[in-house]
Amino acid sequence: MEKKITLKTRGMTCVSCEKLIEDVVGELDGVKKVRSSRASESTEIVYNEAKVKPEAIKAAIIELGYKC
């Protein structure tokens, strides 16, 4: 089943930060779509809850050095 979550994501300073998060989170198995915005300090993710859990998505963002 597809779900959508929006995570508060702090620490992005440029377009490259947004792209890095989108690329890394987008590689997680089960993630369908990712959109990060430094202006709104958020990341929207559409994912398959049977394949990936929100905790794994948050962990991937935190591992990149951003607050989630």
Contact 20, 65 (CB under 8 A): no
Q: What are the structural domains, with CATH classification, of the chain? A: 2-63 (3.30.70.100)
Contact 10, 67 (CB under 8 A): yes
> In angstroms, rounded to a whole number, what is the distance separating the alpha carbons of residues 44 and 46?
7
Q: Are strands 42-48 and 2-8 parallel, antiparallel or unpaired?
A: antiparallel
Interval 41-62: pLDDT, tens: 999 999 999 999 999 999 999 9
Instruction: Identify the DSSP state of 52.
Output: -
> In angstroms, rounded to a whole number, what is the distance separating the alpha carbons of residues 42 and 25?
13
Q: Which residues pair with 23 in a beta bridge?
A: none
| pLDDT beyond 90 at 3 | yes
- Give the global pTM: 0.94
| pLDDT beyond 90 at 26 | yes
